[in-house]
Amino acid sequence: MHLSPDEIIFWQYGFFKLNATIVFTWGIMLILAVGATLITRKLSIGLQRARWQNVLEIVVLAVEEQIEDVGLANPRRYLSFLATLVLFLATAALCTIIPGYQPPTGSLSTTVALALCVFVAVPFFGIRERGLGSYLRSYAQPTIIMLPFNIISEISRTLALAVRLFGNMMSGTMIIAILLTITPFIFPIVMMALGLLTGMVQAYIFFILATVYIAAATRVRTAETAMAQNQ
Amino acid sequence: MLVDWFTVAAQVVNFVILVWLLKRFLYQPILRAIDAREQRIARSLADAAAKETEAETERDAFRRKNEAFDQQRAALLDRAADEAKAERQRLLDEARQAAEVLRAKQQEALQREQQSLNDEVARRTRAEVFAIARKALNDLSGTSLEAHMSEIFVERLRALDDEARQRFAGTLKTSAHPVRVRSAFELTPEQRDGIQAALNETLAADVQVRFETAPEVIAGIELTTDGQKIAWSIADYLRSLENSVGELLTKRAEPEAKAETPQQSGPAAAPGEAP
């Protein structure tokens, strides 16, 4: 019984190793990339379009709409990063119905990696929107005393992101594994359905939190501009 | 240790690669397709709006043309109706005039006919009257009447005034022919002698006389030389009477024609009246 797919190691050479997390991540990447390529190879711009194209359009437009709802003025600038988060997390959760599959999100390494990506992306987008000085000054708002608290908040929320996702995904697989050993065959299926729901919810939560963080980092600028315009 | 830092780094790299892959193969094509479709829809909507505007403009233009055409047609119809009315009036007038002329002509012809009929009647009446008179007088003329007539003739000869007598005598001298005495009946020798004596006495000369019998001299005696004539006969009376009656008839016919002329110009007042 492994607590994390990191522990399933297929190949190792010193520091480099090929564990289940990386392999399944590659599998998900392959599915997503090949699927996207196949579907977008012949896109229709007319009113008639293929079902898969329709599905992808719905997903992309829904994500775009969500980003806009949160308050980001130019959603297409953030779409690549945020929609990839959703698609990756949702696919990872969906694939739990495949026997023998270990979700890469059930590994704390993966969730930490994704949280680090968000941790980097928030200042990246903030600085790109507002400029370096303005972004750094936002840490000392409303007073300089708030600077350490802001920094702690930044780090702690990243940690929370990682642990929340890891805990939920790991618990899902763990519960199914435990139930499989003690109950008849029907009950784990119910739990698996619940796990699918939890996975989707977690994917949505992760995405929406990342969006809110980015929005918070970029939106101050508009508030400042509005104030400057008022003065 | 739950966090394997190599795996963390690998996953970060994996995620960044995934972001790039999906951006390259998913988001960009899909968004381009969506944008293209939206543009196409917007374009077709704009086209439809433009076409609608054009159609409305054309419909308005067509409606205007139609109205103008209707008005023109109504005007043409009105004009045609007016012209037809005028033409009808003209034709009616022409027909009426023609009818009037015809009527006038007919009336004139009728009047002429009536006139000639009247004339004929008058002429024939006159002729009949005189024929009857002649016949009656012819029948009446007998010996006693003849004797009486020769007496009257002699009296007339003697009663000639001097001027007539001179003229008569002059004529007799120059003339080579003898004096002709024509009578409707055979004069008895006494009567001849009486006439001869009266002539001789009146003219104071021996006059050669030739006695002739002519039945057209109705109950009378007539004495003629070259250009001079002394006569007494009923035929003479009848002739003068005939002349005066004829004059009277012509005189009466002329005012009648004059009186009827104004009536001919006024038949328009009663066009229904049969001529």
A149: pLDDT strictly greater than 50? yes
Give me the pLDDT at residue B57, please. Answer: 95
Residue B256 scores a pLDDT above 90: no
Question: Domain range for residue B168?
Answer: 142-251
Residue of B1, B6, B11, B20 to mutate, interface with A, max A Cβ within 10 Å: B11
The pLDDT assigned to B214 comes to 79
Residues of A whose CB is below 8 A from B31: 60, 76, 79
Q: How many domains does chain B have?
A: 1
Q: pLDDT band for position B266 (50/70/90)?
A: very low
- For chain B positions 46-75, those within 8 Å of chain A (CB to CB) are none
Q: How many CB atoms lie within 10 A of CB A9?
A: 14
CATH of the domain at B174: 3.30.360
Query: What single letter denotes the amino acid at residue B122?
Result: A
* The pLDDT of residue A86: 93
Q: Is B21 on the interface with A (CB under 8 A)?
A: yes
CB-based contact (8 Å) between B27 and chain A? yes
Is the Cβ of B26 closer than 8 Å to some Cβ of chain A?
Answer: yes
**B180-193 exposure pattern, b = at least 16 Cβ within 10 A, e = fewer:** ebbbbbebeeebbe
| Test mutation, B26, B35, B41, B44, chain A, max A CBs within 10 A | B26
A16 — phi, psi (to 5°)?
-80, 135
Least confident of A96-105, A186-195, B86-95: A186-195
Q: Give the residue from A55, A57, A84 with the most B CB atoms within 10 Å of its CB, the best one to mutate.
A: A84
**What does the pLDDT look like over B134-166, one tens digit per residue?**
777 777 766 677 777 778 878 877 887 788 778
C-alpha span between A61 and A57 (Å, rounded)? 6
Distance CA B219, CA B214 (A): 10
Place of tokens 């939106």: A219
pLDDT of residue B242 exceeding 80, the answer is no
Q: Bin A183: left if φ > 0, else alpha if -120 < ψ < 50, else beta.
A: beta
Rounded to the nearest integer, the mean pLDDT of chain B is 81
By Cβ distance, the residue of B7, B15, B34 closest to A21 is B7
Give the separation between CA A26 and CA A24, rounded to whole angstroms.
5
Query: Chain A contact for B15, CB < 8 A?
Result: yes
pLDDT band at B43 (very low <50, low <70, confident <90, very high): very high
- Asked whether residue B155 is assigned to any structural domain, the reply reads yes
Residue B183 main-chain phi, psi, to 5 deg: -140, 160
Residue of A nearest to B22 (CA): A33
Mean pLDDT of chain A: 86
Q: Report CB contact under 8 Å: A88, B10.
A: no
In chain B, which residues have their Cβ closer than 8 Å to the Cβ of A40? 25-26, 29-30, 33
Q: Å from A211 to nearest chain B CA?
A: 16
Beta bridge partners of B221: B183, B232
Interface test with B, best of A22, A54, A109 (most B CBs within 10 A): A109
Kindly state the helix (H) or strand (E) to which residue B232 belongs, with its residue range: strand B229-233
Count CB atoms within 10 A of the CB of residue B225. 17
Higher per-residue confidence, B157 vs B110: B110
ipTM for this prediction: 0.88
Respond yes or no on whether the N-terminal peptide bond of residue A142 is cis (omega within 30° of 0). Answer: yes
B30 falls within a domain: no
Would residue B168 count as lying in a domain? yes
What is the model's pLDDT at position B142?
Answer: 64
Instruction: Please name the residues in contact with A123: beta carbons below 8 A apart, sequence gap of 6 or more.
Output: A135, A217
Q: Which CB contacts under 8 angstroms, 24+ apart, belong to B12-17?
A: B12/A113, B12/A116, B12/A117, B14/A22, B14/A25, B14/A26, B14/A29, B15/A84, B15/A88, B15/A113, B15/A114, B15/A117, B16/A117, B17/A29
pLDDT for B268: 42
- Overall residue count recorded for chain B in this entry: 275
For residue A151, give how far its alpha carbon lies from the nearest alpha carbon of chain B (Å): 22
Searching chain B, which residue's CA lies closest to the CA of residue A26? Answer: B14
pLDDT value at A79 more than 80: yes
Beta bridge partners of B222: B182, B231
Stretch among A59-63, A101-105, B75-79, B256-260 having the lowest mean pLDDT: B256-260
Strand, coil or helix: B219: coil
In this complex, how many residue pairs, one in chain A and one in chain B, have their CB atoms less than 8 Å apart?
Answer: 118
Residue B75 counted as domain residue: no
The candidate with the shortest Cα–Cα distance to A115, out of A24, A205, A216, is A205
Average pLDDT of span B30-37? 90
- Partner-chain residue, chosen from B11, B23, B29, that has the shortest CB–CB distance to A110: B11
The residue-averaged pLDDT of A47-56 equals 85
Query: What is the C-alpha end-to-end distance of chain B, expressed in Å?
Result: 148
Asked if pLDDT for residue A69 goes beyond 90, the answer is yes
Q: What's the confidence (pLDDT) of residue B271?
A: 42
Please, what sign has the CA dihedral across residues A141, A142, A147, A148?
Answer: negative
| Interchain CB contact of B8 with A (< 8 Å) | yes
Nearest Cα of chain A lies from the Cα of B55 at a distance, in angstroms, of 26
pLDDT higher than threshold 70 for residue B196: yes
What are the phi and psi torsion angles at A12 (to 5°)? Answer: -140, 135
B188 touches chain A (CB under 8 A): no
B228-264 exposure pattern, b = at least 16 Cβ within 10 A, e = fewer? bebbbbbbeebeeebeeeeeebeeeeeeeeeeeeeee
pLDDT band of residue B275 (cuts 50, 70, 90) is: very low
Mean pLDDT of B93-117: 90
- Residue of higher predicted confidence among B108 and B121: B108
Output the pLDDT for position A94: 92
Q: Is B19 an 8 Å CB contact of chain A?
A: yes
Q: Which stretch of A140-154, B75-89, B259-273 has the lowest confidence by average pLDDT?
A: B259-273
Check B9 against A113: CB less than 8 A apart. yes
Tens of pLDDT, residue by residue over A198-225, are: 899 999 999 999 999 999 888 754 555 5
